[in-house]
Amino acid sequence: MRRKLAAGNWKMNGSRTALAEVEALIAAHPAPGCEMLLCPPATLIAAMAATAKGGPLKVGGQDCHHKPSGAHTGDLSAAMLAEAGASHVILGHSERRADHGETSALVRQKAEAAKAAGLVAIVCIGETEAERDAGRELDVVGGQLAESLPDAATGADTVIAYEPVWAIGTGRTPSEAQIAAMHRFLRERLVARFGEGGEAFRLLYGGSVKPDNAAAIFAIPDVDGALVGGASLKAGDFGAIITALGN
Ligand SMILES: O=C[C@H](O)COP(=O)(O)O
């Protein structure tokens, strides 16, 4: 049985004052029926983990370097995130693929580094609008899945987040049929590669998930939760999504 996961990605937003939202979220959801995770900027991981006090809210990073240490100015290793209090790390988000030229091959190395440090990797994949318009979304996303996942990945240490690039921050979402088709395709690919173990990977949907569309998205087969951007910044909005998922 795959445990549902509500993951929030604060991206480059938030400051210490925003930890009041985290306190409100924890107070409103002391025993959520799903896993609850927030990934703030790295500067806030330790403070957020202290606020979470080992309770149900987990804290994650938004990226890590693929090496354990060395001359990589400005980067953070997976072990550093773990030491700061992270249990998860988002990898290969489309904004990092676009802004920093991250390839699926690099994402795979980062996922290996995350696993070595004991972090759960949330590996992001998704097509652009032009790729979908050209009918290439399965090829593109299938390729990203194949190339980004290490051979040793398991459902215990790896989560997949399907995020169509054109749905991120736009207020647009794919139809329920389009999400269902993509998640079914991803499940088939995972089972083809990992056998029965492929059933254990959680598949999150991401891209303009809001309180008013969350329940409909979570009712789609093989949607095991969401990776939420803008709506994870406010305790009320993220809390409503958590409630829709299983509280
Ligand atoms: O990581 C989160 C996604 O990029 C979704 O962002 P959004 O919910 O603001 O569309």
% of the chain exceeding 70 in pLDDT: 100
The answer to whether ipTM exceeds 0.90 is yes
pLDDT on residue 54: 86
Task: Write the pLDDT tens digit of every residue in 202-223.
Answer: 999 999 999 999 999 999 999 9
Catalytic residue among 88, 93, 112, 137: 93
Ligand 1 atom with the smallest distance to the CA of 94 is 4
Annotated catalytic residue 93: yes
Helices (H), 7-164: 19-28, 45-52, 78-84, 94-99, 104-116, 129-133, 137-148
The structural domain count of the chain equals 1
Position with higher pLDDT, 113 vs 54: 113
Sign of the Cα pseudo-torsion (217, 218, 223, 224, in order) = positive
Domain that holds residue 174: 5-246
> Average pLDDT for residues 110-128, to the nearest whole number?
98
Residue 1 pLDDT exceeds 90: no
Ligand 1, atom 2: nearest CA belongs to which residue? Answer: 229
Q: What is the mean pLDDT of the chain?
A: 97
pLDDT (tens digit, 9 = 90+) per residue, 153-206? Answer: 999 999 999 999 999 999 999 999 999 999 999 999 999 999 999 999 999 999
Distance CA 55, CA 241 (A): 19
Do 25 and 228 touch, CB atoms closer than 8 A? no
Q: Say if residue 229 carries a ligand binding annotation.
A: yes
The pLDDT value recorded for residue 238 is 98
pLDDT at 247 over 70: no
The number of the ligand 1 atom at minimal distance from the alpha carbon of 210 is 8
- Other Cβ atoms within 10 Å of 55 Cβ, number: 12
234 is in an annotated binding site: no
pLDDT at 246: 87
Query: Is it the case that residue 235 has pLDDT exceeding 90?
Result: yes
Q: pLDDT by residue (tens digit) across 127-141? A: 999 999 999 999 999
Nearest CA-CA partner of 206 in 100, 87, 95, 46: 95
CA gyration radius, the chain: 17
At 110 the pLDDT is: 98
On the question of pLDDT at 42 being above 80, the answer is yes
pLDDT for the residue 30: 94
Helix axes 235-246, 19-28, angle to 10 degrees: 30
CATH number of the domain within which 214 lies:
3.20.20.70
